[in-house]
Copies of this chain bind each other. A is one copy, B any other.
Amino acid sequence: MSKAVIAIHGGAGALSRGRLNPDAEQKYRQALSDVVSQGQKMLAQGASALDAVTEAVRLLEECPLFNAGIGSVYTRAGTHELDACVMDGATRKVGAVAGVSHIRNPVLAARKVLENSPHVLLIADGAEAFAEAQGLKRVDPACFSTPERYQQWQEARAGQQVWLDNDARAPLSEKNKFGTVGAVALDSAGNLAAATSTGGMTNKLPGRVGDSPLPGAGCYASNSSVAVSCTGTGEVFIRTLAAYDVAALVEYRQLSLQQAAQQVIMKKISDLGGSGGLIAVDRKGNVALPFNSEGMYRGVGFLGAVPQIAIYSGEDN
């Protein structure tokens, strides 16, 4: 029996005061479920883990509910700067882009870097020129904007005290949420892969890059250990090399996936004052989804099983 599995996340954070709004909650659960289902379908048809995570993250980028691609937050300058990374555990090849504003699906640009360049990370204008040369259409940055994100930005600009966050738009507070999306998968050939994509932090300094596009920080995959995608206070995930640290604890200390993932989030990240979570899978099909925030949008899909979707702490998953 195949142990192929896909897990996804749509960011972690504190609970919104409006969390009891069942309509909003249902919308998020359905979106997560749809993406997991698509990943399961691909894996069942023999797709590679690399293809499954790329497509799952592309779908999350397309969904305006999550802060990546369409629905990305605004920088302090009123612009959008997107980052993404994708890593193939079989080859440890990795591609990433950071600070791009004219690529609709940053994860597809990252994939092109992985496949068609000798490089790992391309930034800003150079990344956009490469993506365009690779056939990815240049888009108007306005396509990333949504009225909800614009309002959040206006509130953030006006000062933190204005953040009332009582509109029940989303189960997790958009004020305190680390908006990033990601996917990890194990395919039926036994290969691992991971992908991460983000619109960054609301009202962030232009040019700020978090952990999402950095291999070993917000994204990592190696067949000799694990595949990991992170979401949280990016700077702390960079300082701790959170994604690679899960791999190192598994490979060098022989911890189980669950122990390693827990130790990174509950000890390493927490000790430096960081908040957030990660999703991880190993070659046996074990899945771990620890977070130290009140909730994390997440979903897991084993082949032939119903997608397991969860948002809050304590939910089965």
Binding site for B on A (CB under 8 A): 92-94, 98-99, 117-127, 129-130, 205-210, 214-217, 220, 234-235, 238-241, 244-245, 248-249, 252-253, 272
Contact of A127 among B127, B207, B220, B240 (CB under 8 A): B207
Least CB distance, A106 to chain B, in whole angstroms: 14
Contact of A253 among B92, B206, B235, B252 (CB under 8 A): B252
Once the chains are docked, how many angstroms separate the CA of A238 from the CA of B217?
11
Once the chains are docked, how many angstroms separate the CA of A123 from the CA of B130?
17
Contact of A216 among B92, B119, B124, B216 (CB under 8 A): B216
Q: List 7 A-B contacts (CB under 8 A).
A: A118-B235, A120-B235, A122-B208, A123-B124, A124-B207, A125-B207, A245-B248
Once the chains are docked, how many angstroms separate the CA of A234 from the CA of B98?
17
Assess the B94–A123 pair: CB atoms within 8 A: no
Assess the A126–B207 pair: CB atoms within 8 A: yes
Q: Secondary structure of the A side of the interface? A: mixed
Assess the A126–B239 pair: CB atoms within 8 A: no
Assess the B208–A121 pair: CB atoms within 8 A: yes
Once the chains are docked, how many angstroms separate the CA of A99 from the CA of B126?
10
Contact of A215 among B99, B119, B120, B238 (CB under 8 A): B238
Assess the B208–A119 pair: CB atoms within 8 A: yes
Once the chains are docked, how many angstroms separate the CA of A207 from the CA of B129?
9
Once the chains are docked, how many angstroms separate the CA of A59 from the CA of B45?
57
Once the chains are docked, how many angstroms separate the CA of A93 from the CA of B235?
9
Assess the A206–B126 pair: CB atoms within 8 A: yes
Least CB distance, A316 to chain B, in whole angstroms: 32
Contact of A130 among B119, B205, B209, B252 (CB under 8 A): B205
Assess the A92–B238 pair: CB atoms within 8 A: no
Contact of A248 among B130, B220, B239, B248 (CB under 8 A): B248
Assess the A98–B123 pair: CB atoms within 8 A: yes
Least CB distance, A213 to chain B, in whole angstroms: 10
Once the chains are docked, how many angstroms separate the CA of A93 from the CA of B130?
32
Assess the A120–B238 pair: CB atoms within 8 A: yes
Assess the A209–B122 pair: CB atoms within 8 A: yes
Contact of A123 among B118, B207, B220 (CB under 8 A): B207
Assess the B235–A216 pair: CB atoms within 8 A: no
Once the chains are docked, how many angstroms separate the CA of A244 from the CA of B220?
14
Which chain B residue has the least Cβ–Cβ distance from A126? B207
Once the chains are docked, how many angstroms separate the CA of A127 from the CA of B126?
16
Which chain B residues lie closer than 8 Å to A98 at the CB level? 123, 209
Once the chains are docked, how many angstroms separate the CA of A205 from the CA of B121?
11
Once the chains are docked, how many angstroms separate the CA of A114 from the CA of B238?
13
Which chain B residues lie closer than 8 Å to A92 at the CB level? 239-240, 272
Contact of A119 among B124, B205, B244 (CB under 8 A): B205
Assess the B123–A99 pair: CB atoms within 8 A: yes
Least CB distance, A153 to chain B, in whole angstroms: 17
